Amino acid sequence: RFDLADRAKSDIGDMSKGMAQKVQLATSLVNDPELLMLDEPFSGLDPVNLRMVKDLLRELRDQDVAIILSTHQINQVEELCDRVLMINRGTVVLYGSLDEVRRDFGEGSIIVEVSRLPEALPGVDKVIQQGGITTSW
């Protein structure tokens, strides 16, 4: 599936970034994990291997494997993820289903961090306070 048989004796340092990504993913799946944590798994992949990895992640999800995907590519998140968690400097900024995040933090949202909430915020329809982060729109 990973099309790596001809590289079985190769050093990973001699491989392209995309091929090295496939080796790392393949080795993480050897023991049939219940939880898979991936950091930028699409980096360096060509379109054919990008599709293969996405299809594989969907199959794993359908087999009830929990997948934590760390990426800066929002299009990949929207395509593959059920829930989104965004962390800024160690603090959770947003969490929820894609629909919840789009509704609560979509176009027109303004995130404001304040030490104390003012009594009135003219023009603000909704305020969410989470830790030290206040979100309003």
Q: What number is the average pLDDT over the span 74-89?
A: 86
Q: How far is CA 4 from the centre of its chain?
A: 26
Residue found by looking up tokens 């509704």 in the block:
103
| Separation CA 17–CA 44 (nearest Å) | 5
More confident residue, 104 or 31: 31
CA distances from 116 to 120, 125, 129, 133 (A): 12, 18, 11, 10
Residue 137 has pLDDT above 50, yes or no: no
- Model confidence at 18: pLDDT above 80: yes
pTM for the whole thing?
0.69
pLDDT per residue as tens digits for the range 19-35: 888 899 999 999 999 99
Cβ proximity of 74 and 86 under 8 Å: no
On the question of pLDDT at 110 being above 70, the answer is no
